[in-house]
């Protein structure tokens, strides 16, 4: 998979294959980052969380564009190892990232040391994990005020509604079989 832009633009990263793995295509990644930049996201100094990281391509792309730090949470050992290998091959400074091979919901059961300005949630298709993950991210303050949450889900998934949360749905777009949802806290 080829990175789209930034200091690693054009570089290729390795991805895991198998059931449940569907790395974001370059078209979707370009759309995602255009959406974020159109809404004024500032990469410099940004902390990014990549939940259900898979290949880690979204947070790696954010690091490429200047994000300060990325946390990757991936349950599958092979995929977590590939994220570490890719970051090492790119030469990304070890202080700028952390890969947790762990169950996401165990990680989200406690608040972070410091909240994130952008959280990606890309759950496996067909398991209806977005509402639970989104609620956990919000309940434990994983996203700072003014921060963004971007979800990549299958096209037929409707955006979860949280009446009691301070969350605004900014974007709901379809790209083939993929739905991109972008909220601001």
CATH number, position 28: 3.40.50.150
What is residue 172's predicted lDDT score, i.e. its pLDDT?
95
pTM of the model: 0.93
Tell whether 121 is covered by a domain. Answer: yes
Q: How far apart are CA 63 and CA 92, in angstroms?
A: 8
What is residue 8's predicted lDDT score, i.e. its pLDDT?
92
Tell whether 127 is covered by a domain. Answer: yes
Strand partners, 50: 72, 120
- Whether 32 contacts 62, CB under 8 Å: no
Q: How far apart are CA 136 and CA 49, in angstroms?
A: 13
Give the confidence band of 15 by pLDDT, cuts at 50, 70, 90.
Answer: confident
- Whether 71 contacts 49, CB under 8 Å: yes
Q: How far apart are CA 148 and CA 25, in angstroms?
A: 21
- Whether 171 contacts 162, CB under 8 Å: no
What is residue 166's predicted lDDT score, i.e. its pLDDT?
84
What is residue 180's predicted lDDT score, i.e. its pLDDT?
95
Tell whether 70 is covered by a domain. Answer: yes
Size (the chain), residues: 185
Average pLDDT of span 129-148: 95
Tell whether 69 is covered by a domain. Answer: yes
Tell whether 122 is covered by a domain. Answer: yes
Tell whether 1 is covered by a domain. Answer: no
What is residue 28's predicted lDDT score, i.e. its pLDDT?
82
pLDDT in tens, 41-75: 999 999 999 999 999 999 999 999 999 999 999 99
Quick one: DSSP state of residue 141?
T
Evaluate the CA torsion angle 141, 174, 161, 20 in order and state its sign.
Answer: negative
Boundaries of domain holding 134: 6-184
Q: How far apart are CA 95 and CA 93, in angstroms?
A: 5
pLDDT in tens, 70-92: 999 999 999 999 999 999 999 99
Number of domains in the chain: 1
């Amino acid at each position: 998979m080829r990175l789209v832009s930034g200091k690693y633009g054009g570089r290729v990263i390795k991805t895991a294959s198998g059931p449940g793995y569907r790395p974001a295509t370059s078209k979707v990644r370009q759309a995602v980052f255009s959406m974020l930049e159109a809404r004024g996201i500032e990469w410099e100094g940004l902390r990014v969380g990549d939940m259900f990281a898979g290949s880690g391509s979204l947070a790696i792309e954010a690091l490429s564009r200047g994000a300060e730090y990325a946390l990757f949470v991936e349950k599958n050992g092979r995929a977590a190892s590939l994220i570490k290998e890719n970051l090492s091959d790119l030469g990304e400074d070890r202080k700028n990232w952390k890969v947790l091979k762990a169950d996401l919901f165990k990680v989200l059961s406690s608040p972070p040391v410091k909240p994130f300005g952008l959280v990606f949630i890309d759950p496996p298709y067909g398991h209806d994990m977005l509402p639970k993950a989104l609620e956990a991210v919000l309940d434990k303050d994983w996203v700072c005020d003014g921060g963004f949450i971007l979800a990549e889900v299958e096209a037929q998934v409707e955006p979860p509604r949280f009446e009691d949360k301070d969350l605004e749905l900014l974007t709901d777009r379809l790209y083939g079989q993929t739905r991109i949802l972008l909220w601001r806290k």
